């Protein structure tokens, strides 16, 4: 932490702090990391992420990187994908992983939950049409299992099918005539209603320290 | 861990059975009494007989004894069996009385029975055998309970909350010990009770501290017994329970420390530091010993594929050895046992057969259940037996101080802990944690082996505290939980979606941490997992299973459970009840990038109605069962091939078929176009694509029987015979029939996924009995 200068934070940081809810210190640390990843540039591109060595082992690496460039994560009204992001957008994506504050009303808790689940939903929904289809789900399970060697596509397909089946069942009785196109966001919320995502999807930013060794390459 | 549900609607019968039970109890007790006195009588007879050998021989010739009583040889096992039988009958009896088990926790009932039995024995013989000797307790009764707890410990919540648990266990227990010990000393000095025969001010500070350390530890047996009946949420359960397990190290160290100090008579600063060092050694040493034996057990289980029958024995033996080895070196035996069970479980379960897994589970549950029952009964008996020194001042102040110490400790620690936790502990949580700090038999046994001049008064006080916590706190905790509306455990089944998302979240968070450049705990966890997968699993797990990821194991386990459910719900006749909705896979449409014109036609109805599906299933079922009946194999070294287990695999096969059926029935083809599309799209006429299931029965012959199954099934031509029989069944228009046949062909020809009927891999939730 000795690298932090004692100069006053720029005005943008104050604005960002208000917008995303991070403290000034956290913003400074993340800014430093941003600069490190982008090689001093003002925008981050996909290639910059690919340089992080420890990300290599991650089976869902591609989805994570895509999530940073997915405009829907910047604000609810945006659509499509970006090719490069600036610091503000980087922060907005990171803010999805903030730990919840201790005193929250139920309303706030629900909102935070929605936000986090929407982030995950966007990650699953690869074509951005608001539905997670069976193909998307199959792809997801395949990726999760991709690190385990030659286990065959059939098992991952079976798991994805079973999961989809379960969703359809949970969501309720449907007319046999109707086809179930895919999981909508509302169904997704209902499906994971028992999953306490607001306490699990967190990174402890309080002690974030950019360790010089953990860098690109 | 045990679900104790009262039976309903048989109260009349229950009452008479309970009375019968009590009658039986009385008979047993009297029998015990008379048998023991008979033993005394026969021994005296023998004495007199031998006293005058010479004269006897001369005078009369003894006739051949047709029926004699020789109790000596079997006395010890006989008595032990009698006690265990009594305990089990009592347990049976309680559950036949429906209302009682809802109001009063079992531990209270058992202690009462113990009191009763102790009283009867005392009256009958004027002397009660000291049954709760510390050797029996620590060597025979305690290990099964702890092993059961350790083996089925839910690792994820335990590790996630380990910081909190350690805080409560270590700091909390230390605080309790010193607070109670110190203040009791103060009370002793101040109180002057002219009517009691003990001079309290004689009790020095060290004995008081020793007493404090004994009584401050929360007891795992009592906590388990009470908490598992109230079904509280997982977090609180693991906090209190984890604390009760880990505070053993603290108790052991404090106990030995104060005992040493008492003997040597003086304390110095060096001793205090040595005490601290000793604590670290006791705790870490215990864990290391346990982990060592756990790894040995895992390694051994890798080679047991040919001798499945003794697999459970290895698990039990290694664990017991871990416990005993730790006790040899005065390390914490409980922590060693927990570490052994937790370390060996993932590897052992990947190696052993399904039957061995079931055996281990049920043996552990059975032994721990019996142990627990015996402990409480003996506690009751020992209460009646011992000499007590009643000193109201001492007793009431002990109880009050324990409660106060616990409350202050919990509140203070939570305040500090909440600064570091994401999910804070609320006041309700704190109350339950404080209220759940029950004392039990461990405290009693430790008191029993004291070598102090004040032993009797200490023992009385310990018993009082135990009784108070078990009776008062144990009975009232359930209504309080209801009153405070504390979150209960959800009994919901773990869904596969949640499992997928748990894994997904793990990877996501690790990825984000890497992007931030932050070495958080996800990063280290990930590294540990990778190390585990790369090196450890290869060594400790036999064969292919070392590569199986948890998601797949979870999925197989779920399949197995569903199959078991199907068996229990009547062999598939109520299949639809497992999937109660009208949704079947036919409704789940994969997104096809087909031209828009094809879309409306895809929405046509499936041709098979529910009735037809049911008939198809029926036919499949009967065909499969006919096949199965030929394949019984028996070998002395294997267990008899269990027809039920055959049934499971059967049903998994069936279920897969059904899912495929539903799924395929209305696949993405247009109905307007004719059979041409079908024959073009799905060319396989399917004799060779019958799904295969590799079954791992407890038998080296199993691969053969499986292969036999495949051949038979293929020979029977399941795939081919079906359409003709089904078309016989439903006489509709020819065109429909044609389509149906094609569809069925398609269904059955689709190669289902390869399933390895493997054993449970990840048994995170407590297993209900």
Tell me, letter by letter, the H, E, C secondary structure of chain A. CCCCCCCCCCHHHHHHHHHHCCCHHHHHHHHHHHHHHCCCCCEEEHHHHHCEHHHHHCCCHHHHHHHHHEHHHCCCCCCCECCEEEHHHHHHHHHHHCCCCCCCCHHHHHHHHHHHHHHHHHHHCCCCCCCECHHHHHHHHHHHCHHHCCCCHHHHHHHHHHHHHHHHHHHCCCCCCCCECCECHHHHHHHCCCCCHHHHCCCCHHHCCCCCCCCEC
Closest residue in A to B489 (Cα) is: A194
Contacts with B581 from chain A: Cβ below 8 Å? 168-169, 172-174
Identify whether the C-beta of residue A180 lies closer than 8 Å to the C-beta of residue B588.
yes
Q: Residue B715: pLDDT above 60?
A: no
% of residues, chain A, pLDDT over 70: 77
d(CA B394, CA B385): 21
Q: Please give the pLDDT value at position A9.
A: 57
Domains of chain B: 134-484 (1.20.1530), 497-562 (no CATH)
Lowest-confidence segment of B115-124, B272-281, B601-610 by average pLDDT: B601-610
Contacts with B501 from chain A: Cβ below 8 Å? 120, 192, 195
* pLDDT band at residue B7 using 50, 70 and 90 as cut-offs: very low
**Same domain, yes or no, for A169 and A185?**
yes
Sort B506 into a burial class: Cβ within 10 Å, 0-12 / 13-18 / 19+.
Answer: middle
**Same domain, yes or no, for A39 and A119?**
no
d(CA B176, CA B184): 12
Lowest-confidence segment of A204-208, B127-131, B235-239, B657-661 by average pLDDT: A204-208
What ipTM score was computed for the predicted complex, to two decimals? Answer: 0.86
Q: CB-CB: which of A64, A141, A166 is closest to B508? A: A64
Q: Tokens representing B326?
A: 């730790």
Chain B contacts in chain A segment 5-34 (CB below 8 A): 30, 33
**Same domain, yes or no, for A120 and A186?**
yes
Q: CB-CB: which of B498, B591, B663 is closest to A194? A: B498
**Same domain, yes or no, for A131 and A44?**
no
Q: Do A37 and B515 touch (CB under 8 A)?
A: yes
User: Does A197 reach chain B within 8 Å, measured CB to CB?
Assistant: yes
Q: Please give the pLDDT value at position A45.
A: 80
How many independent structural domains does chain A possess? 2
Q: Tokens representing B88?
A: 């089990």
Q: Which of A72-86, B207-221, B663-677 is the most confident on average?
A: B207-221
% of residues, chain B, pLDDT over 70: 62
Q: Please give the pLDDT value at position B278.
A: 86
Q: Please give the pLDDT value at position A102.
A: 61
| Rg of chain A over all Cα atoms, to the nearest angstrom | 19
Is A8 a domain residue? no
**Same domain, yes or no, for A92 and A111?**
no
User: Does B552 reach chain A within 8 Å, measured CB to CB?
Assistant: yes
Non-local CB neighbours of B563 within 8 Å, separated by 6+ positions:
B648, B649, B651, B652, B655
Q: Please give the pLDDT value at position B579.
A: 42
Lowest-confidence segment of A14-28, B123-137, B556-570, B732-746 by average pLDDT: B732-746
User: Does A57 reach chain B within 8 Å, measured CB to CB?
Assistant: yes
Identify whether the C-beta of residue B318 lies closer than 8 Å to the C-beta of residue B128.
no
Q: Please give the pLDDT value at position B502.
A: 81
* pLDDT band at residue B114 using 50, 70 and 90 as cut-offs: confident
Rounded to a whole number of angstroms, the distance from the CA of B5 to the nearest CA of chain A is 25
Lowest-confidence segment of A176-185, B191-200, B246-255, B667-676 by average pLDDT: B667-676
**Same domain, yes or no, for A25 and A89?**
yes
Q: Please give the pLDDT value at position B165.
A: 92
Q: Do A164 and B588 touch (CB under 8 A)?
A: yes
* pLDDT band at residue A70 using 50, 70 and 90 as cut-offs: confident
**Same domain, yes or no, for A92 and A108?**
no
User: Does B471 reach chain A within 8 Å, measured CB to CB?
Assistant: no
Q: Do A195 and B490 touch (CB under 8 A)?
A: no
CATH classification at residue A163: 1.10.238.10
Q: Residue A56: pLDDT above 80?
A: no
Lowest-confidence segment of A144-153, B230-239, B253-262, B532-541 by average pLDDT: A144-153
Q: Tokens representing B162?
A: 């380990």
Q: Residue B590: pLDDT above 90?
A: no
Is A7 a domain residue? no
Non-local CB neighbours of B725 within 8 Å, separated by 6+ positions:
B619
Is A81 a domain residue? yes
- Closest to B549 (Cα-Cα) out of B535, B563, B571, B529: B529
Q: How far is CA B654 from the centre of its chain?
A: 31
User: Does B400 reach chain A within 8 Å, measured CB to CB?
Assistant: no
Q: Please give the pLDDT value at position B413.
A: 92
Is A4 a domain residue? no
**Same domain, yes or no, for A136 and A118?**
yes
Lowest-confidence segment of B171-185, B229-243, B727-741 by average pLDDT: B727-741
Last residue of a domain, one of A68, A96, A124: A96
Q: Do B498 and A37 touch (CB under 8 A)?
A: no
At residue B129, the 3 state secondary structure works out as coil
Q: Please give the pLDDT value at position A168.
A: 73
Contacts with B605 from chain A: Cβ below 8 Å? 176-177
**Same domain, yes or no, for A108 and A84?**
no
Closest residue in A to B500 (Cα) is: A141
* pLDDT band at residue B27 using 50, 70 and 90 as cut-offs: low
Contacts with A207 from chain B: Cβ below 8 Å? 518
Identify whether the C-beta of residue B173 lies closer than 8 Å to the C-beta of residue B240.
no
Rounded to a whole number of angstroms, the distance from the CA of A18 to the nearest CA of chain B is 21
pLDDT (mean) for A194-202: 76
Q: Which of A3-7, B38-42, B72-76 is the most confident on average?
A: B72-76
Closest residue in A to B419 (Cα) is: A102
Q: Please give the pLDDT value at position B560.
A: 76
Q: CB-CB: which of B505, B581, B591 is closest to A200? A: B505
Identify whether the C-beta of residue B243 lies closer than 8 Å to the C-beta of residue B172.
yes
Mutate to test the interface with B, among A25, A36, A54, A61 (most CBs of B within 10 A): A54
Closest residue in B to A144 (Cα) is: B504
Residue B475 gets the label, from left (phi > 0), alpha (psi -120 to 50) or beta, of alpha
* pLDDT band at residue B688 using 50, 70 and 90 as cut-offs: very low
Is A2 a domain residue? no
Is A25 a domain residue? yes
Q: Please give the pLDDT value at position B722.
A: 33
Identify whether the C-beta of residue B760 lies closer than 8 Å to the C-beta of residue B553.
yes
Q: Do A162 and B507 touch (CB under 8 A)?
A: no
**What Å distances lie between residue B356 and B217, B352, B359, B557, CA to CA?**
35, 6, 5, 15
**Same domain, yes or no, for A92 and A109?**
no
d(CA B14, CA B8): 10
Contacts with A194 from chain B: Cβ below 8 Å? 490, 492, 498
Mutate to test the interface with A, among B157, B424, B515 (most CBs of A within 10 A): B515
Q: Do A172 and B581 touch (CB under 8 A)?
A: yes
pLDDT (mean) for B202-208: 80
* pLDDT band at residue A205 using 50, 70 and 90 as cut-offs: low
Closest residue in B to A151 (Cα) is: B548
Which residue has tokens 């346990």?
A: B290
Non-local CB neighbours of A1 within 8 Å, separated by 6+ positions:
A209
Which residue has tokens 């890497």?
A: B514
Which residue has tokens 């003990």?
A: B198
d(CA B510, CA B518): 10
Lowest-confidence segment of A125-129, B30-34, B187-191, B533-537 by average pLDDT: B30-34
Lowest-confidence segment of A28-32, B25-29, B442-446 by average pLDDT: B25-29
Structural domain boundaries, residue A135: 104-199
- Express each pLDDT in B411-456 by its tens digit: 999 999 988 887 788 888 888 899 888 988 888 888 888 877 778 8
Q: Do B515 and A52 touch (CB under 8 A)?
A: yes
Last residue of a domain, one of A40, A73, A96: A96
- Express each pLDDT in B609-635 by its tens digit: 566 666 666 666 666 555 554 444 334
DSSP string, B393-420: HHHHHHHHHHHHHHHHHHHHHHHHHTTT
Is A178 a domain residue? yes
d(CA B218, CA B432): 14
% of residues, chain B, pLDDT over 90: 10
User: Does B58 reach chain A within 8 Å, measured CB to CB?
Assistant: no
Non-local CB neighbours of B643 within 8 Å, separated by 6+ positions:
B632
d(CA B421, CA A200): 12
Q: Do B548 and A154 touch (CB under 8 A)?
A: no
Q: Please give the pLDDT value at position B9.
A: 40
- Closest to B515 (Cα-Cα) out of A30, A104, A81: A30
Q: Do B496 and A178 touch (CB under 8 A)?
A: no
**What Å distances lie between residue B633 and B52, B305, B645, B701, CA to CA?**
65, 18, 13, 8
Q: Please name every residue paired with B488 in a beta bridge, in sequence order, or none if there are none.
A: B232
Chain B contacts in chain A segment 101-130 (CB below 8 A): 102, 120, 123
Chain A contacts in chain B segment 417-456 (CB below 8 A): 418, 422-424
pTM over 0.80: no
Q: Give the CA dihedral B412, B417, B419, B420, nearest 10 degrees.
A: 170
Closest residue in B to A179 (Cα) is: B587
Which residue has tokens 């010890």?
A: B76
**What Å distances lie between residue B480 and A54, B130, B232, B239, B475, CA to CA?**
50, 37, 12, 18, 9
Mean per-residue pLDDT over chain B, rounded: 71
- Express each pLDDT in B469-515 by its tens digit: 888 988 888 888 888 877 777 666 667 777 788 888 888 888 888 87
Lowest-confidence segment of A105-109, A123-127, B296-300, B690-694 by average pLDDT: B690-694
pLDDT (mean) for A118-133: 80
Q: Please give the pLDDT value at position B750.
A: 46
Is A92 a domain residue? yes
Q: Do A148 and B552 touch (CB under 8 A)?
A: yes
Q: Tokens representing B126?
A: 């004027």
Q: Tokens representing A107?
A: 């309303």
Q: Please give the pLDDT value at position B338.
A: 92
């Amino acid at each position: 932490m000795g690298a932090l200068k004692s100069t006053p934070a720029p005005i943008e940081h104050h604005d960002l702090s208000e917008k995303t809810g991070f403290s000034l210190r956290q913003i400074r640390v993340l800014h430093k990391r941003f600069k490190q990843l982008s090689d001093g540039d003002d925008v981050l591109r996909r290639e910059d992420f690919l340089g992080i060595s420890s990300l290599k082992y991650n089976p869902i690496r591609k989805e994570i990187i895509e999530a940073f460039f997915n405009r829907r994560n910047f604000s609810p009204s945006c659509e499509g994908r970006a090719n490069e992001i600036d610091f503000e957008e980087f922060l907005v994506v990171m803010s999805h992983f903030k730990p919840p504050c201790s005193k929250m009303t139920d309303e706030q808790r629900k909102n935070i939950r929605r936000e986090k689940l929407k982030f995950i939903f966007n990650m699953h929904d690869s074509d951005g049409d608001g539905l997670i289809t069976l193909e998307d789900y199959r792809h997801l399970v395949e990726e999760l299992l991709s690190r385990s060697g030659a286990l065959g596509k059939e098992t991952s397909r079976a798991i994805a099918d079973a999961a989809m089946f379960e969703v359809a069942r949970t969501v309720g009785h449907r007319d046999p005539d109707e086809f179930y196109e895919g999981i909508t966001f509302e169904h997704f919320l209902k499906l994971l209603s028992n999953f306490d995502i607001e306490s699990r999807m967190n990174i402890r930013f309080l002690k974030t320290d950019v360790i010089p060794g953990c860098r690109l390459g | 861990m045990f679900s104790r549900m009262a039976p309903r609607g048989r109260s009349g019968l229950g009452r008479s059975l309970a009375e019968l039970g009590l009658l039986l109890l009385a008979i047993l007790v009297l029998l015990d009494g008379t048998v023991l006195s008979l033993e005394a009588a026969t021994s005296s007879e023998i004495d007199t007989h031998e006293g005058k050998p010479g004269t006897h021989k001369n005078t009369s010739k003894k006739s051949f004894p047709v029926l004699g009583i020789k109790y000596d040889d079997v006395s010890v096992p006989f008595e032990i069996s009698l006690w265990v039988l009594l305990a089990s009958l009592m347990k049976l009896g309680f559950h036949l009385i429906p209302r009682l088990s809802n109001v009063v926790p079992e531990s209270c009932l058992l202690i009462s029975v113990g009191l009763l039995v102790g009283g009867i024995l005392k009256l009958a013989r004027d002397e009660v055998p000291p049954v709760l000797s510390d050797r029996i307790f620590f060597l025979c009764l305690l290990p099964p309970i702890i092993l059961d707890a350790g083996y089925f410990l839910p690792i994820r919540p335990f590790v996630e909350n380990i910081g909190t648990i350690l805080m409560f266990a270590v700091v909390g227990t230390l605080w309790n010990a010193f607070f109670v010990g110190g203040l009791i000393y103060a009370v002793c000095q101040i109180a002057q009770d002219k009517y009691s025969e003990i001079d309290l001010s004689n009790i020095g500070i060290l004995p008081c501290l020793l007493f404090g350390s004994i009584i401050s530890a929360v007891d795992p047996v009592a906590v388990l017994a009470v908490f598992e009946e109230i079904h509280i949420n997982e977090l609180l359960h693991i906090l209190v329970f984890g604390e009760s397990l880990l505070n053993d190290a603290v108790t052991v160290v404090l106990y030995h420390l104060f005992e040493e100090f008492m003997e040597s008579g003086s304390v110095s600063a060096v001793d205090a530091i040595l005490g601290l060092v000793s604590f670290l050694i006791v705790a870490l040493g215990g864990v290391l010993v346990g982990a060592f034996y756990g790894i040995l057990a895992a390694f051994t289980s890798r080679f047991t594929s040919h001798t499945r029958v003794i697999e459970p024995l290895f698990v039990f033996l290694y664990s017991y050895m871990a416990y005993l080895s730790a006790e040899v070196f005065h390390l914490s035996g409980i922590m060693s046992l927990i570490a052994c069970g937790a370390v060996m479980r993932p590897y052992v379960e990947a190696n052993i057969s399904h039957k061995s897994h079931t055996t281990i589970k049920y043996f552990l549950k059975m032994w721990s259940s019996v142990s627990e029952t015996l402990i409480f009964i003996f506690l009751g008996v020992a209460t009646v037996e011992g000499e007590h020194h009643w000193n109201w001042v001492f007793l009431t102040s002990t109880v009050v101080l324990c409660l106060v110490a616990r409350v202050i400790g919990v509140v203070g620690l939570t305040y500090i802990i909440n600064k570091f936790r994401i999910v804070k502990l609320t006041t309700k949580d704190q109350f339950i944690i404080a209220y759940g700090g029950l004392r039990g038999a461990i405290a009693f046994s430790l008191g029993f082996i004291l070598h102090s001049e004040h032993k009797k008064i200490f023992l009385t006080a310990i018993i009082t505290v135990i009784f108070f916590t078990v009776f008062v706190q144990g009975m009232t905790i359930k209504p309080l939980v209801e009153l405070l509306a504390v979150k209960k455990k959800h009994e919901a089944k773990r869904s596969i979606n949640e499992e997928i998302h748990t894994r997904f979240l793990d990877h996501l968070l690790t990825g984000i941490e890497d992007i931030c450049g932050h070495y958080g705990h996800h990063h280290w966890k990930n590294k540990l997992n990778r190390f585990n997968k790369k090196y450890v699993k290869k060594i400790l797990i036999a064969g292919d299973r070392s590569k199986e990821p948890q998601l797949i194991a979870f999925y197989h386990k779920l399949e197995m459970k569903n199959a078991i459910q199907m068996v229990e719900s009547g062999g598939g006749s109520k299949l639809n009840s497992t999937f109660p909705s009208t949704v079947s896979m036919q409704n789940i449409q994969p997104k096809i990038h087909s031209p828009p014109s094809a879309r409306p036609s895809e929405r046509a109805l499936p041709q098979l109605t529910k009735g037809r599906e049911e008939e198809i299933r029926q036919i499949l079922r009967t065909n499969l069962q006919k096949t199965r009946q030929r394949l019984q194999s028996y070998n002395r070294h294997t267990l008899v091939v269990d027809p039920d287990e055959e049934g499971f695999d059967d049903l998994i096969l069936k279920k897969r078929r059904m899912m495929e059926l539903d799924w395929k029935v209305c696949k993405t083809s247009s109905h307007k176009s004719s059979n041409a599309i079908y024959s073009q799209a799905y060319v396989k006429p399917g004799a060779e694509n019958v799904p295969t299931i590799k079954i791992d029965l407890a038998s080296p012959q199993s691969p053969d029987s499986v292969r036999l199954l495949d051949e038979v099934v293929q020979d029977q031509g399941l795939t081919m015979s079906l359409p003709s029989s089904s078309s016989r069944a439903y006489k509709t228009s020819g065109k429909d029939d044609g389509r149906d046949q094609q569809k069925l062909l398609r269904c059955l020809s689709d190669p289902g996924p390869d399933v390895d009927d493997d054993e449970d891999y990840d048994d995170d939730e407590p297993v209900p009995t």
